[in-house]
Structure 1
Amino acid sequence: MDILISYGYIGVFIASFLAATVLPFSSEVVLTGVLLAGGSYWPCMVAATLGNTLGGMTCYALGRLGKIEWIKKYLRLDITRLQRVQHWIEGRGSWTAFFVFTPGVGDFIAVALGFLRARIGPVIFWMLIGKALRYWVWMELVYKVQGN
């Protein structure tokens, strides 16, 4: 984590991207480290949101390819759980991409949206909004704690 923090905004982008795809770690740790080291608010917000959104869209793309073996191998997702999430999403639309930031279920939502061939424009829009809101809340908490 220290290496990513030392890269500043690029480290935040990389951590956020990887956290949304293959590595089981929290991008919030790197984001907090960069903020506490003097990183500026908006560059951190943009780097974290774009990195995490692109990572989420990677999961969407793997779902769109429809290769179950890749999903098992690279994302390590339980296929039964993926099917349950996919069933929940059916009929609800692309707005469900807003919840891709949710721990434990977000990757399933992104992959399921890809499987269902949800329209990419609305998926990107709602995913971006959800992830931006997540990082905004986190950064506000960091500033509140740091101010005390």
Structure 2
Amino acid sequence: MGDMTAWVLALFASDSIDIALFVTAFVSATLFPGGSEVMLAGALAAQPERWVWLLAVATAGNTLGSMTSWVIGRFIPTVKRETKAVLWVRRWGAWALLFAWLPVVGDAIPVAAGWLRIDPLMSLLAIAVGKGIRYACVAGAVLPLVL
């Protein structure tokens, strides 16, 4: 167990954390579960002086993951029954993507937006703002504990 703990602590303290954080954030924005908030918290605890960069890396990875889901949604054929995510995006448009960070339901919102052909630039912007705010809240909770 000690070797694993040492490996994790070394990862958080290394430059490799940028890549690991980006990949974790990217994957957790798709339909696969991920722990990007935990990864960000660990990175912030190990390298608090790099908080702006780490926040940007997590936001970029998570945003690109959601945009991948948006692209997948573009290729979904017509369905007989619309999901709640589709109805929500149909009602609120790109603004619904501000909530793409929500657990479980948030993963379906970018797919629905892609399926509905919501403007990709507006989608990218709304997703990035929502996810950036979420990660800023994580940073705001972690940094006072480590500074």
TM-score class, shorter-chain normalisation, is: 0.7 to 0.9
Hey, what does 2:140 align to over in structure 1? Answer: 140
Please report how far the alpha carbon of residue 22 of structure 1 lies from its aligned counterpart in structure 2 after TM superposition.
4.3
With over 3 angstroms needed to count, the CA separation of the structure-2 counterparts of 1:10 and 1:67, relative to structure 1, is farther
Match for residue 15 of structure 1 among 7, 14, 24:
24
Q: Between Structure 1 and Structure 2, how many residues are aligned? A: 136
With over 3 angstroms needed to count, the CA separation of the structure-2 counterparts of 1:4 and 1:146, relative to structure 1, is closer
* CA deviations over 1:80-129 (Å, ceiling 9, x no partner): 7x712101221321111111011111111111001101010110001000
Gaps of 5+ in 2: 1-6
Show the 5 A alignment for 1:35-50: 35-39=44-48, 40-50=50-60
Post-superposition, which runs of at least 4 consecutive aligned residues in structure 1 deviate over 4 A?
Answer: none
Percent identity (aligned): 33
**How large is the Cα RMSD of the aligned pairs?**
2.4
Higher deviation after alignment, 59-68 or 45-54: 59-68
The structure number with the bigger radius of gyration is: 2
Hey, what does 2:76 align to over in structure 1? Answer: 66
Hey, what does 1:24 align to over in structure 2? Answer: 33
Question: What TM-score do the two structures reach when normalised by structure 2?
Answer: 0.83
Hey, what does 2:113 align to over in structure 1? Answer: 113
* CA deviations over 1:28-81 (Å, ceiling 9, x no partner): 11111111112511110110000000000011111111159xxxxxxxxxxx7x
Does structure 2 retain, via aligned residues, the 8 Å contact 1:4–1:12?
no
SS at structure 2 position matched to 1:129: helix
Gaps of 5+ in 1: 69-79
Hey, what does 2:66 align to over in structure 1? Answer: 56
